[in-house]
């Protein structure tokens, strides 16, 4: 079995090369989304260090996607996250939390399954979605809470 290196700790060469991962008896090629650690475009990365300032004290709603680089459904959520990011300029912030690197945040917000999307507004959770969801589901929560 070939073990995939953590993209944040891998050498620069490993970040650009396709690697192989085994899952049960199937072999997958890991594409550039996974090699980049699933952080699309200019999307924020939230950690224990910056979460309070960047999420809880934010002046706009914040969409936080809890994910992991090895999570296949998280990669399926990649294109949706990019669309949400593009549509949100000036309306909200969006970013990710790597569940492998931030177990304290996962425990604090009772993350049991990934991807999980939490939507914060003024330090309160206004929505929670589990799994790969439609962008309309996220926008519905944002619009509903903005109308109140």
Active-site positions?
A: 71, 74
Are 81 and 92 in contact by the 8 Å Cβ rule? The answer is: no
Phi, psi of 21 (to 5 degrees): -130, 145
Q: Which two tokens stand for residue 110?
A: 């009772």
Are 61 and 113 in contact by the 8 Å Cβ rule? The answer is: no
In this structure, is the dihedral angle defined by the CA atoms of residues 137, 89, 48 and 59, taken in order, positive or negative?
negative
For residues 41 and 22, give the distance between their C-alpha atoms in angstroms, rounded to a whole number: 28
């Amino acid at each position: 079995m070939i073990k995939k290196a953590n993209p944040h700790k891998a050498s620069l060469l490993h970040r650009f090369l396709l690697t192989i991962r085994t899952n049960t008896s199937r072999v997958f090629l890991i594409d550039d989304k996974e090699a980049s650690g699933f952080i699309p475009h200019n999307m924020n990365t939230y950690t224990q260090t910056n979460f309070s300032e960047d999420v809880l004290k934010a002046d706009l709603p914040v969409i936080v996607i809890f994910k992991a680089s090895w999570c296949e459904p998280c990669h399926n959520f990649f294109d949706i996250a990019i669309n949400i990011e593009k549509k949100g300029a000036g309306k909200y912030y969006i970013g990710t939390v790597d569940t492998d690197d931030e177990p304290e945040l996962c425990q604090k917000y009772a993350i049991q399954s990934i991807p999980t999307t939490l939507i914060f507004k003024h330090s309160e959770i206004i929505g929670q979605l589990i799994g790969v969801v439609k962008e309309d589901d996220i926008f519905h929560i944002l619009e509903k809470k903005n109308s109140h």
